[in-house]
Structure 1
């Protein structure tokens, strides 16, 4: 996500689902994907009634990447602990963060070291810190449209797709309800994280739908913009074009926009990938942008 990456909990994102659970996974995916076919056509009124699907970026490449604004892609500033520090930011740190804000006034706060799951004491401390941070930005500049990366809802893969049963799924939703009660009143937009841990496209769609549905449920009607990363979470390999297009298309059907984030080589210092205009993911993006009328 930000240069200060969260710990990778899944060791091989391009691996298949564990063999012993394969049959269950197939059943779960089949049932939920059938639901997607129905839900996409009738439920997401917010997405369907929108007049504009927003495409944002926070991309870094070596070489000569284009000006993404020429493709109808808006830059989205992200402020993280490199500026804010590891605790609630002080006034000077808040001002440095606000200096990143452009004319459209969006700002995503990316703080990943404050746990929102675990012991009740720890999570309450974290929620208080998030509240203090957001309120500090709001006081300093009420015009800024604030959001939190990957907190609303709490990103979850296995519970979200029903892998661990209905009880764990309900526990995840209950946690999201508690976090949302504390934080949604302090944000203007929600930014669920939908990065790619595995090479199973159908499972990713189930994962994405579950997280977007949760974001909608807790959003209080606020826009939902999904963070996508065109690389696998572990190997840093770029996604195949059809997989990447499926991610964009899924978000188009269910959300209000996407944020394309990246890139990383995996080397020390978080060095970016070299720009390649012929890369499959970029060609799939161009196709998507044409369909959205952002480029001819």
Structure 2
């Protein structure tokens, strides 16, 4: 069980209104830090930085290969000339794991779900069977407020998630988004529990993707792209470890007035990174000197 001082510290961080309503994190999430070490649990990263390290492998984080829409899609449709180039790169690099990030289509729409299926089947038929293929973040759909609200809103999302089941059957991993939309930690814990439960119904291994910043579009304007408090991100890492079969850390972006979005500058002393190193070390990762 969670140590008493950790539980008290977590309660102290909660707004009084939440304490009064008794809305506390699920016991399974509260005990995440005490989860026994898991065999074959792989820690991945998919981050880009200004002036960042070339690799985080020495800290226990493998690099996740990802291919975004621009390298797969043209004018809203699969571009098989582009996809053939991606396939050639996968084969040349002998990649063991590949993530395809196409968020343009709706997996709850049967015609659009079929576009996803055609895409992943095309790649699957042309890369080695040892290469694991997955689609980022679309199953289950990351509808934070509906998952937290529950009731009929949750039921509607559950219905949509089940429509995606034929697509999930084509993937080797399910990769739900563990993004942060609000500073309310109790609500985030509920969201995490629900989205993992939804991911589990596909009967595939589950890899949550974490982002150490508040969501760039749907968070309160004052928080967008700001880095999470270190202890909050540690809670998320522990939750992903407790509930998932692997995890991946994604990032980063910042707003620069008058310019397009840019990557954040690497800060080895950032609280989120200090907590990430401590988390990895607690899971028997190498001592990280970055």
Q: TM-score, normalised by structure 1?
A: 0.79
Please say if residues 29 and 206 of structure 1, whose CA atoms lie closer than 8 Å, have aligned partners that are also in contact: no
**1:242 alignment counterpart:** 231
Q: Please give the alpha-carbon distance, in whole angstroms, between the structure 2 residues aligned to 1:135 and 1:48.
A: 37
Q: Please give the alpha-carbon distance, in whole angstroms, between the structure 2 residues aligned to 1:127 and 1:85.
A: 15
Q: Please give the alpha-carbon distance, in whole angstroms, between the structure 2 residues aligned to 1:293 and 1:104.
A: 25
Q: Choose from 177, 198, 201 the match for 1:217.
A: 201
Q: Does 1:169 align with 2:154?
A: yes
Give unpaired runs (5+ residues) of structure 1. Answer: 1-15, 42-46, 118-122
Q: Please give the alpha-carbon distance, in whole angstroms, between the structure 2 residues aligned to 1:224 and 1:186.
A: 14
Q: Report how far residue 209 of structure 1 moved.
A: 1.0
Which structure exhibits the higher relative contact order, with contacts defined as CA atoms closer than 8 Å and separated by 6 or more residues?
1
Q: Please give the alpha-carbon distance, in whole angstroms, between the structure 2 residues aligned to 1:80 and 1:96.
A: 13
> What secondary structure is seen at the aligned counterpart in 2 of 1:225?
coil
**1:77 alignment counterpart:** 65
Aligned length: 259
Please say if residues 245 and 288 of structure 1, whose CA atoms lie closer than 8 Å, have aligned partners that are also in contact: yes
Deviations along 1:34-83, one digit per CA (max 9) or x if unpaired, are 45469979xxxxx9794122111111111142520111111111111211
Q: Does 1:94 align with 2:83?
A: yes
Q: Report how far residue 115 of structure 1 moved.
A: 2.2
Q: Choose from 255, 278, 286 the match for 1:287.
A: 278
Q: Report how far residue 252 of structure 1 moved.
A: 0.6
Q: Choose from 101, 112, 115 the match for 1:110.
A: 101
Q: Report how far residue 26 of structure 1 moved.
A: 7.1
> What secondary structure is seen at the aligned counterpart in 2 of 1:276?
coil
Please say if residues 88 and 132 of structure 1, whose CA atoms lie closer than 8 Å, have aligned partners that are also in contact: no
Q: Does 1:68 align with 2:52?
A: no
Q: Indicate the larger mover: 100-109 or 209-218.
A: 100-109
Q: Choose from 164, 174, 185 the match for 1:190.
A: 174
> What secondary structure is seen at the aligned counterpart in 2 of 1:215?
helix
Please say if residues 72 and 295 of structure 1, whose CA atoms lie closer than 8 Å, have aligned partners that are also in contact: yes
Please say if residues 45 and 249 of structure 2, whose CA atoms lie closer than 8 Å, have aligned partners that are also in contact: yes
Q: Please give the alpha-carbon distance, in whole angstroms, between the structure 1 residues aligned to 2:247 and 2:57.
A: 15
Say what the alpha-carbon RMSD is for the aligned residues.
2.6
**1:13 alignment counterpart:** none
Q: Trace 1:100-139 onto structure 2 (pairs within 5 A).
A: 100-101=89-90, 102-117=93-108, 123-139=109-125
Q: Choose from 116, 123, 141 the match for 2:127.
A: 141
**1:232 alignment counterpart:** 214
Q: Please give the alpha-carbon distance, in whole angstroms, between the structure 2 residues aligned to 1:35 and 1:173.
A: 23
Q: Does 1:150 align with 2:149?
A: no
Q: 1:245 to 1:188 in 2, by over 3 A?
A: same
> What secondary structure is seen at the aligned counterpart in 2 of 1:289?
helix
> What secondary structure is seen at the aligned counterpart in 2 of 1:158?
helix
Q: Please give the alpha-carbon distance, in whole angstroms, between the structure 2 residues aligned to 1:38 and 1:70.
A: 29
